[in-house]
Structure formats: structure tokens, C-alpha cells
Structure 1
Amino acid sequence: MTAITLQIPKSLKFTDDKFVEIVAANKDLRLELSSQGELSIMSPTGGETGDRNLELGGQVWFWNRQNGLGKAFDSSTGFKLPNGATRSPDVSWI
């Protein structure tokens, strides 16, 4: 997957609320924010990667459903990390 990274000047005060606003206005884009304030626009995956991601996500979901140890999420979920970044991993479990 290729990403285009936009450098956002710190003088623009790129807040969490502004990031949410930009994501809401661009629902067709997959956006991530680094801890340095860089906005990344992620390109769609190809068929092979999409198949692999679905397989992995399905396995994590099924395992979690059987064991009930947490929550499983897909790639459309954004997580705010302690360093300030907002990331959307292909599959995640908490």
C-alpha cells in the first residue's frame, strides 16, 4: 500500500477535532495522522492484499468470538495512540 504524506505546518493548530472534521468530509479516503502532525492518505490495497486482510480479520474475529477476550476491529477503525498519532491498522484486537 502506498501513502501520500502531507506536511501540516504546526502553525495551523491541527487538532483532533479538525482531523475528525477532515475525515468526515472525505469519507472515500483512508486518512491517518502521525504524531508529528503529518496527514497520510492511504491508497486502496490490491486484490491479493485485500484477500489476505479479510482472511486475517476473519480469523481474529472468529477467535475472539469463541474466547470473548476483547474486541476485534477492521481497517476502518481509527485509534488515537499515546504519542498523538491516529492510525487505522488492517486488523486489530483489544
Structure 2
Amino acid sequence: MKKGIHPDNYRPVVFKDMSNDDMFISRSTIAAKDTIEIDGVTYPLVKLEITSSSHPFFTGKQKLVDTAGRVDKFMSRYGKHMQNKK
């Protein structure tokens, strides 16, 4: 590794998944505005929308999100064509 190009201020930081309230502690240099106390120790807190504990790829749980009826719209347009080909 080259000397002088990596930061020296690594410290323990809590990362919190806001979708399922899962937390883990890792070393990081990220700037955090919030803090949290765990086992009597105060850590910087970084709030995340999604982590490996809530991501469908890692959990195996898939969600089908149908926004504005896109699936129905597709079936109404192309469903007849697919039936005619059979």
C-alpha cells in the first residue's frame, strides 16, 4: 500500500437499517450527525435505507411492487397478442 493516501481517523461507527431496525458496528471514517449509546458506549450513528439484512437478494424474500398498475397496463396491451399466438 502507498503511504499517506489512506485516512487515519478510522473509528467504530453504528450503521442502522431503518427498514428493520437492525444495527451493526463497523470501523469507518464516515461523518455522522447522530449518536447512539450501546452498552454504555456512545458511537456515531449512520442511518441507512437498506442493508444486507433487508435487501431481497440477501434475504431471499422478493417483493413485487406494482406502481400505478403497470402490470395490468402491460397485460391489457399485450395479453391479447400472446393469446392469439398460442
Is TM-score (shorter-chain normalized) higher than 0.5? no
Output the TM-score relative to the length of structure 2: 0.26
Decide which structure has the larger Cα Rg and report it. Answer: 2
Please state which structure has a larger fraction of its residues in strand: 2
Q: Which has the higher contact order (CA 8 A, sep 6+)?
A: 1
Please state which structure has a larger fraction of its residues in helix: 1
Output the TM-score relative to the length of structure 1: 0.25
